[in-house]
């Protein structure tokens, strides 16, 4: 009893001791609370699992980058044959649709009296030649003046010109092919009368056959004359060719540039007027092939692929090289890359993930 009285007396005499004891007890209680909170936080953190994503390991392959254009086949050249002299059609010497050679006769016109006129012109030419030679001898002997010699020479030249004109007119009675090609249309029949410049036939040269296409502003700068390309036709056939022409001036209506790809067509098995898809290869780059479903956009709107590098999600911007029926080829990767194939929509670049390869997925 006396001990309790002494303790009470001492505490009353020294109140700071009470304050010190209470402070120590308060600090101990708070420290125990913080420790419990740390234990709870660690427990909660350990209870949150790292997300899993399915990945597929892909190795970049050498792929030829190419430009795809759509065009139409056209003849290498075409010509409308017209009459160069008047006359009646008396003979058709080539069938419509026939393959003809340069210089081959196609249509013959009536001669009428052209041959007789030529014989008369030849006789007159012979006479003028004799007269000129006589005037020349007399002039050399001083019996004829220079004026007479000049007149005789002029008459001789006129006679020669008449002969040449009549011979040319006779030659024009036979219309010939100006080049190797197809006599696609014959516009006359036997008995038709033709005047000068009347149309006779349409000829087309389809070897080589030309595929005409229009290239955009971004494509034209990557192309050059002599570049090899492939034309794919609607029936599934394809043919190799070379670019023979690139326009230097854009079409004012479409703002595109004309391109011509020449295809060898010796057997005329390709037709003008067919639709064709042109593939013009450029440089060879490393690329991977994926389905379009794996493509993603970053916060800036860039198109790319999400992959996993050292357990961290990586976003890689890509560039489309070409598209096939079952996927697209993308560049921007070197060597091997682990592409996220499942779960890419639930993770962001920089997130830590657990990568599960497609072969190991359950």
322 belongs to a structural domain: yes
Contact residues for 180 (Cβ-Cβ < 8 A; gap 6+): 99, 100, 101, 102, 205, 207
Residue whose C-alpha is closest to residue 273's, from 52, 75, 134: 75
297 belongs to a structural domain: yes
Query: Which carries the bigger pLDDT value, residue 309 or residue 344?
Result: 309
> What pLDDT, on a 0 to 100 scale, did the predictor assign at position 121?
94
Residues 61 and 335: beta-carbon distance below 8 Å: no
Residue 138 exposure: Cα atoms within 13 Å on the Cβ side: 15
Question: pLDDT for 83-100, tens place per residue?
Answer: 999 999 999 999 999 999
Q: How many domains does the chain have?
A: 1
- Asked whether residue 8 carries a pLDDT value surpassing 60, the answer given is no
Question: Stretch 240-262: mean pLDDT, rounded?
Answer: 96
> What pLDDT, on a 0 to 100 scale, did the predictor assign at position 143?
66
78 belongs to a structural domain: no
The whole-angstrom separation of Cα 266 and Cα 99 is 11
- Asked whether residue 243 carries a pLDDT value surpassing 90, the answer given is yes
CATH number assigned to the domain comprising residue 292: 2.40.420.20
302 belongs to a structural domain: yes
Give the CA distances from residue 52 to residues 251, 307, 348, 357, in Å, rounded to whole numbers and listed in that order.
54, 13, 13, 10
301 belongs to a structural domain: yes
Which strand ranges, in their side-by-side order, compose the sheet holding 77-82? 77-82, 199-205, 181-186, 99-100
Residue whose C-alpha is closest to residue 331's, from 147, 28, 60: 60
Question: Stretch 276-294: mean pLDDT, rounded?
Answer: 88
33 belongs to a structural domain: no
Question: pLDDT for 167-191, tens place per residue?
Answer: 999 999 999 999 999 999 999 999 9
Question: Stretch 343-354: mean pLDDT, rounded?
Answer: 85
43 belongs to a structural domain: no
* Domain housing 302: 52-64+285-360
> What pLDDT, on a 0 to 100 scale, did the predictor assign at position 50?
78
Q: Residue 359 — very low, low, confident or very high, per pLDDT cuts 50/70/90?
A: low
311 belongs to a structural domain: yes
């Amino acid at each position: 009893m006396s001990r309790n009285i002494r303790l009470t007396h001492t505490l009353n005499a020294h109140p700071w001791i009470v304050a010190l004891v209470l402070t120590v007890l308060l600090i101990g209680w708070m420290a125990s609370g913080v420790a419990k909170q740390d234990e709870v936080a660690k427990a909660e953190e350990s209870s949150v699992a790292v997300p899993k994503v399915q990945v597929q390991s892909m190795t970049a392959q050498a792929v030829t980058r190419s430009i795809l254009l759509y065009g139409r086949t056209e003849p290498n050249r075409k010509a409308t044959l017209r009459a160069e002299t008047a006359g009646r059609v008396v003979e058709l010497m080539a069938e419509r649709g026939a393959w003809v050679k340069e210089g081959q006769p196609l249509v013959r016109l009536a001669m009428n009296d052209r041959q007789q006129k030529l014989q008369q012109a030849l006789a007159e030419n012979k006479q003028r030649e004799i007269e000129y030679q006589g005037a020349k001898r007399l002039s050399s002997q001083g019996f004829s003046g220079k004026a007479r010699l000049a007149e005789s020479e002029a008459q001789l030249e006129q006679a020669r010109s008449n002969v040449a004109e009549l011979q040319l007119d006779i030659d024009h009675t036979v219309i010939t092919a100006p080049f190797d090609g197809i006599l696609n249309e014959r516009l006359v029949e036997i008995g038709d009368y033709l005047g000068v410049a009347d149309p006779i036939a349409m000829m087309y040269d389809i070897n080589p056959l030309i595929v005409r296409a229009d290239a955009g502003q971004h494509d034209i700068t990557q192309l050059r004359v002599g570049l090899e390309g492939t034309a794919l036709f609607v029936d599934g056939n394809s043919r190799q060719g070379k670019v023979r022409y690139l326009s230097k001036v854009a079409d004012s209506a479409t703002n595109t540039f004309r391109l011509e790809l020449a295809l060898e067509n010796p057997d005329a098995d390709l037709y003008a007027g067919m639709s064709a898809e042109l593939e013009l290869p450029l440089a060879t780059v490393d690329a991977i092939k994926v389905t379009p479903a794996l493509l993603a956009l970053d916060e800036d709107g860039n198109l790319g692929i999400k992959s996993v590098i050292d357990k961290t999600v990586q976003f890689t911007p890509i560039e489309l090289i070409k598209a096939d029926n079952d996927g697209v080829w993308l560049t921007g990767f070197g060597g091997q890359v682990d592409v996220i194939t499942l779960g890419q929509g639930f993770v962001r670049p920089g997130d830590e993930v657990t990568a599960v390869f497609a072969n190991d997925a359950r």
